[in-house]
Amino acid sequence: MRAAGFQSIVVLTGAGISAESGVPTFRGPDGLWEGHRVEDVATPQAFRRDPALVQAFYDARRAALARVAPNPAHAALARLDAQWQGDLLIVTQNVDDLHERAGAARMVHMHGELKSALCLACGERQPAPETLSDGPACARCGAHGRLRPDIVWFGEMPYHMDRIEAALAVCDLFVSIGTSGAVYPAAGFVQGARHYGAHTLEINLDPSEGTHFFDEARHGRAGELVPLWVDELLQG
């Protein structure tokens, strides 16, 4: 890959970029997310059926953030953000905060954030308290027990889609890191970027479901491959 000529980059990241930090991926070897079926914890129906289970699940994920730290892949993307003179948008599907803790700023969380809560009474987003299970009050309207995790569940509309689509339409390099390519619409971004003429690169432990859509693929650990790719780009 030649860095020369690239102006505008979109990087899509998924659970695989946080795996080496000790955050389990979604479709681990057992196909479960931390021991749960996705339908039981990551859908609006699950929340309606068993809010206590869903709140406890996300409370545990939020608490686990304190025990993990960014890895060299997050650090490399933060370095890219600091040093890349052209346009850059890092689009993460992750709900952890490891990109921002590494120092990345030009980024969006398309599937929400563990550190954020959404009030079902008034619609206000706010920093999440440590736990939502105990029904804390909304900081804006004061309603008790109406805060839900500010996470995009299956069947809900991802955030920032206008900004993401606009960036995909003008990017000349699209890079997908640590994502299985199974969750739409993110899995379709590669085809969108290609349609607009971007060079497309996949960096993943193993070939993703959409690996054949990419011009180039590098398979291995994100903690090793992402710093190498960023060096290439910044030196190119």
Q: Which positions are annotated as active-site residues? A: 111
Give the whole-angstrom CA distance, residue 195 versus residue 193. Answer: 5
Q: 19 and 223 in contact (C-beta within 8 Å)?
A: no
Considering CB distances under 5 to 8 angstroms, the limit depending on partner class, which of ligand NAD, Zn ion, none binds residue 81?
Answer: none
Does residue number 12 form part of the binding site for Zn ion (CB under 5 A)? no
Type and span of the H or E element at 62: helix 51-64
Q: Which is nearer to ligand NAD, 149 or 178 (CB)?
A: 178
Does residue number 234 form part of the binding site for Zn ion (CB under 5 A)? no
Does residue number 140 form part of the binding site for Zn ion (CB under 5 A)? yes
Whether the bond into 185 is cis, omega within 30 of 0: yes
Considering CB distances under 5 to 8 angstroms, the limit depending on partner class, which of ligand NAD, Zn ion, none binds residue 137?
Answer: none
Instruction: Using the rule CB under 6 A, give the single segment among 4-12, 44-52, 76-84, 198-206 that binds ligand NAD.
Output: 198-206
CA angle 227, 232, 235 (to 5 degrees): 115
Does residue number 183 form part of the binding site for ligand NAD (CB under 6 A)? yes
Assigned token pair, 86: 């052209």
Does residue number 121 form part of the binding site for Zn ion (CB under 5 A)? yes
Give the whole-angstrom CA distance, residue 108 versus residue 89. Answer: 8
Phi, then psi, of 110 in degrees rounded to 5: -75, -20
Among 3, 60, 120, 182, binds ligand NAD (CB under 6 A): 182
Does residue number 27 form part of the binding site for ligand NAD (CB under 6 A)? yes
Does residue number 176 form part of the binding site for ligand NAD (CB under 6 A)? no
Nearest alpha-carbon partner for 81 in 105, 108, 110: 105
Q: Which residues have a Cβ under 8 Å from the Cβ of 60 and sit 6 or more positions away?
A: 34
SS (H, E, C) 103-143: CCCCEEECCEEEEEEEECCCCCEEECCCCCCCCCECCCCCC
Instruction: Using the rule CB under 5 A, give the single segment among 68-76, 93-101, 141-149, 188-196 that binds Zn ion.
Output: 141-149
Q: How far is the CB of 18 from ligand NAD (least distance, A)?
A: 4
Considering CB distances under 5 to 8 angstroms, the limit depending on partner class, which of ligand NAD, Zn ion, none binds residue 121?
Answer: Zn ion
Residues that bind Zn ion (CB under 5 A): 119, 121-122, 124, 138, 140-141
Residues that bind ligand NAD (CB under 6 A): 14-16, 18-20, 23, 25-27, 33, 93-96, 111, 178-180, 182-183, 204-206, 208, 221-222
